[in-house]
C-alpha cells in the first residue's frame, strides 16, 4: 500500500510539472491578449511557485516515508495553485477550472473515495469562496474577470456537480483498480511462491533433470545435473541434447515412453561417467506434448562396486579352487620332488640327461611355488595391527629394492613425502611391507630398459594416508586394468598372477583401497589408501585349510 502511494505521488509531481509547463507555453503564446502586465506577472509567479513546490515534494518523497500525509499536503498545495491560476485567468468563468477535476482524479487514486470527496468539497468551497470574496471586494478584479457575469449560480452549480460526479466516478474506478491490483498482486505473489517452490523442488532433487523441446534442444538443467555432468547451465541451455549426452536418435526418442537406458558419457572434465537415464514426455494441459524430460542418476560408483563385487566373487571362487588343488597336489608333489632328487644322486647320467633332470627340477620348484602362492591366496589373512610409520616402512622397502638384482643403473627411484605432518596408520607392518615390495618389484619389471619409479606419501582430506607408486613403463590397456587384480593374470614371464590379488586382499583386510591408473605407453600409477585408525578385522575361516 505505501509503495503504491509513493509511485502515484511520483507521477503526480511529474503531472504537475507537465501542466504548469504547458500553462507557461500557452501564456507566452497568448501574451498579446493580456491587457495588464501585472496579471501576466502574477501568472508567471504562480508557475514558478509550482516548480518550487514540486521540487520540495520530490525531496520529501525521497527522504520521508509518510506517504499518506504527503498525499494530503500535495493535494492541498494543488488546490491553492489551481485557485490562484483561476483567479488571475478569469475567476469562476476561467477556462482552467478543469484543473480541479484533475486534482480530484489524482486524489481518488491516491486516497480513494475519502480523498476524492474531500478534494471535491474543497474545490466547491474554493469556487464559491472565490466568487464571494470578489463580489465583496476582498480581492480586486483581474483583467480576465468579466465585467458582467451572467448565470453565475448556474456556472457554480454546474462546477460543483461536475466536481462530485468526477469524485464519485473516479473513486469507483480507483476502488475497482485497487481491488483488481490487490488480486493481481496476490496472484503474482502466489505465482512467485509457486515458481520458487517448484525451483526449490527441482534443485533439491538428488538426481539430474533435463528438459528439451520437441526438437531436442535443452530448455532446463537443474543443479544436480550440473554437479553430475560438470557443465555450466549457460553453456548447455539451447544446445542439442544429442551433443550434450552423446545420444543416438533411438535413445533420444522412442515410441514407448517412458523408457530407461544406461549410457557412459564424458563430463566437462573429460572423465567418463556412467548414467542411468529415464526419458518421459513433457506434457501440458489436455495431454499436449511440448518436449521431453530426462531424469538421470550417476551410476559410476555403483558400477565400480558391481565390478569389484564380481571380481571378488571370482577371486573367492578361484581361491577355494586353489586351496582344494593345492591340498591335493602339494603333498604328492613333495613326494615326487624327494624321489627325483634321490634318483638324481644314485643314477649315472650323461650331460643331456643331467640337463633334462635340471629342467624337471626347475619346473617342479616352479609348480611348488605356484601351489604355495595358491595357499597364500586362499588362506585367511591373519595379522596383528599396530601403529606403523609409513615413512620408515617405505624407506626400508626402497633400501631393500636398491639391493635387488633386477634394479640396474638405468633405473631411478624418487621418494617424496610431507615432512611436516605425521604419516602413520594402524596396520600390520610385515603385510604392508609385502604390498610395497610387490608393487615396487612390479614397477621395476615393467621398466626392463630402465625408467623412474616415483613413490609419494600424503594425507588425504578424509583423514587417510595415500601412498602412490608410479612407473614410467609401457602402461596397461583398459582391459588389462580391469583384470589386473584377478588371479592368474600376469603380464610378466614366469609370474603366477597372484601377487596383485594377494595385495588386494591385504589392503581390503586393512579396510583400505587400491586404485590403478594407466594408459598404454604412459606408465602406471597404483594408489593405496589406508585409514589411520581401524577396527579389528574379522578373518573368514578357510574350510579347507
**Total Cβ atoms within 10 A of residue 418:** 13
- Whether 431 and 320 map to the same domain: the answer is no
pLDDT at residue number 376: 65
Domain that holds residue 217: 205-298
Contact 454, 502 (CB under 8 A): no
How much is the pLDDT for 206? 81
Task: Judge if 364 and 504 occupy the same domain.
Answer: no
Q: How far is CA 473 from the centre of its chain?
A: 40
In a domain, 503, yes or no: yes
Cα 17 to Cα 24: distance, rounded to the nearest angstrom? 10
What is the domain-level CATH number for residue 260? 3.30.450.20
Cell of 404: 635387488
Q: Angle at Cα 465 formed by Cα 462 and Cα 468, nearest 5°? A: 120
pLDDT at 539 over 50: no
Question: What pLDDT does 540 receive?
Answer: 42
Q: Judge if 237 and 370 occupy the same domain.
A: no
- Asked if 370 and 408 touch (Cβ cutoff 8 Å), the reply is no
CATH number of the domain that 324 lies in? Answer: 1.10.287.130
In the chain, the percentage of residues whose pLDDT exceeds 90 is: 3
- Are 271 and 177 in the same domain? no
Kindly report whether the global pTM for this prediction surpasses the value 0.75: no
Q: Cα–Cα distance between 302 and 273 in angstroms, integer?
A: 11
- The SS3 assignment for 278 reads strand
pLDDT band per the 50, 70, 90 thresholds, residue 526: very high
One domain, residues 367 and 401: no
Strand partners, 272: 266
Question: Using an 8 Å Cβ cutoff, are 542 and 533 in contact?
Answer: no
Q: How many structural domains compose the chain?
A: 4
| Residues 323 and 233 occupy one common structural domain | no
Judge if 115 and 22 occupy the same domain: yes
CA–CA gap between residue 299 and residue 291 (Å, rounded): 25
Last residue of a domain, one of 268, 298, 328: 298
Q: Helix H segments across 95-232?
A: 98-135, 152-204, 223-229
| Cis amide prior to 454 (ω within 30 degrees) | no
User: Tell me: the pLDDT tens digits for 321-346?
Assistant: 766 766 677 677 777 777 777 777 77
530 vs 511: CA distance, rounded Å: 7
Q: Any idea what the CATH number is for the domain that residue 446 is in?
A: 3.30.565.10
- The answer on pLDDT for 221 being more than 80 is yes
Q: Which residue among 265, 298, 331 closes a domain? A: 298
Same domain assignment for residues 97 and 60? yes
Q: List C-alpha distances in Å: 111 to 57, 171, 370, 379, 408.
A: 17, 9, 100, 93, 98
Mean pLDDT of all residues belonging to the chain: 78
As a whole number of Å, the CA-based R_g of the chain is: 48
Q: What is the pLDDT of residue 65?
A: 78
What are 416's strand-pairing partners?
A: 456
Question: Looking at residues 95-101, what average pLDDT do you find?
Answer: 80
Tens of pLDDT along 6-53?
A: 777 788 788 878 877 887 776 666 554 444 456 667 777 778 888 888
Amino acid at each position: 500500500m505505501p509503495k503504491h502511494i509513493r509511485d502515484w505521488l511520483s507521477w503526480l509531481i511529474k503531472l504537475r510539472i507537465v501542466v504548469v509547463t504547458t500553462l507557461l507555453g500557452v501564456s507566452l503564446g497568448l501574451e498579446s491578449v493580456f491587457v495588464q502586465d501585472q496579471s501576466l506577472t502574477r501568472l508567471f509567479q504562480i508557475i514558478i511557485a509550482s516548480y518550487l513546490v514540486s521540487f520540495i515534494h520530490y525531496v520529501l518523497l525521497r527522504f520521508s516515508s509518510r506517504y499518506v500525509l504527503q498525499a494530503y499536503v500535495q493535494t492541498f498545495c494543488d488546490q491553492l495553485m489551481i485557485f490562484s491560476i483561476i483567479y488571475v485567468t478569469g475567476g469562476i468563468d476561467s477556462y482552467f477550472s478543469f484543473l480541479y477535476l484533475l486534482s480530484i482524479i489524482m486524489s481518488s487514486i491516491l486516497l480513494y473515495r475519502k480523498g476524492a470527496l474531500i478534494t471535491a468539497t474543497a474545490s466547491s468551497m474554493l469556487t464559491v469562496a472565490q466568487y464571494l470574496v470578489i463580489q465583496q471586494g476582498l480581492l480586486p478584479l483581474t483583467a480576465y474577470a468579466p465585467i458582467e457575469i451572467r448565470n453565475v449560480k448556474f456556472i457554480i452549480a454546474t462546477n460543483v456537480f461536475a466536481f462530485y460526479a468526477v469524485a464519485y466516478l473516479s473513486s469507483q474506478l480507483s476502488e475497482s483498480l485497487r481491488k483488481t491490483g490487490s488480486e493481481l498482486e496476490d496472484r503474482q505473489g502466489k505465482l512467485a511462491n509457486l515458481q520458487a517452490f517448484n525451483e526449490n523442488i527441482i534443485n533439491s532433487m538428488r538426481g539430474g533433470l533435463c528438459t528439451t523441446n520437441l526438437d531436442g534442444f535443452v530448455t532446463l538443467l537443474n543443479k544436480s545435473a550440473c554437479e553430475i555432468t560438470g557443465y555450466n547451465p549457460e553453456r548447455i541451455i539451447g544446445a542439442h541434447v544429442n551433443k550434450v549426452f552423446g545420444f543416438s536418435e533411438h535413445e533420444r526418442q522412442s515410441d514407448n515412453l517412458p523408457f530407461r537406458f544406461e549410457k557412459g558419457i564424458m563430463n566437462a572434465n573429460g572423465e567418463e561417467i556412467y548414467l542411468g537415464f529415464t526419458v518421459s514426455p513433457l506434457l501440458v494441459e489436455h495431454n499436449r506434448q511440448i518436449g521431453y524430460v530426462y531424469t538421470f542418476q550417476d551410476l559410476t560408483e555403483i558400477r565400480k562396486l558391481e565390478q569389484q563385487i564380481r571380481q571378488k566373487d571370482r577371486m573367492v571362487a578361484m581361491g577355494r579352487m586353489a586351496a582344494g588343488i593345492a591340498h591335493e597336489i602339494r603333498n604328492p608333489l613333495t613326494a615326487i620332488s624327494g624321489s627325483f632328487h634321490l634318483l638324481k644322486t644314485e643314477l649315472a647320467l650323461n650331460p643331456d640327461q643331467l640337463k633334462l633332470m635340471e629342467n624337471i627340477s626347475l619346473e617342479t620348484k616352479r609348480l611348488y611355488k605356484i601351489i604355495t602362492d595358491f595357499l597364500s591366496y586362499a588362506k585367511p589373512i591373519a595379522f596383528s595391527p599396530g601403529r606403523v610409520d609409513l615413512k620408515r616402512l617405505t624407506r626400508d622397502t626402497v633400501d631393500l629394492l636398491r639391493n635387488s638384482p633386477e634394479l640396474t643403473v638405468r633405473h631411478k627411484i624418487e621418494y617424496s613425502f610431507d615432512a611436516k605432518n605425521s604419516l602413520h596408520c594402524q596396520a600390520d607392518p610385515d603385510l604392508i611391507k609385502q604390498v610395497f615390495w610387490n608393487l615396487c618389484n612390479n614397477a621395476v619389471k615393467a621398466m626392463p630398459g630402465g625408467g623412474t619409479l616415483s613413490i609419494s606419501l600424503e594425507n588425504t582430506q578424509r583423514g587417510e594416508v595415500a601412498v602412490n607408486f608410479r612407473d614410467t613403463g609401457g602402461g596397461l590397456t583398459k582391459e588389462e586394468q580391469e583384470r589386473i587384480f584377478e588371479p592368474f593374470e600376469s603380464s610378466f614371464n614366469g609370474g603366477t598372477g597372484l601377487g596383485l590379488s594377494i595385495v588386494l586382499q591385504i589392503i581390503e583386510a586393512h579396510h583400505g583401497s587400491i586404485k590403478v591408473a594407466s594408459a598404454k605407453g604412459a606408465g602406471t600409477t597404483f594408489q593405496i589408501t589406508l585409514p589411520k585408525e581401524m577396527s579389528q578385522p574379522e578373518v573368514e575361516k578357510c574350510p579347507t585349510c
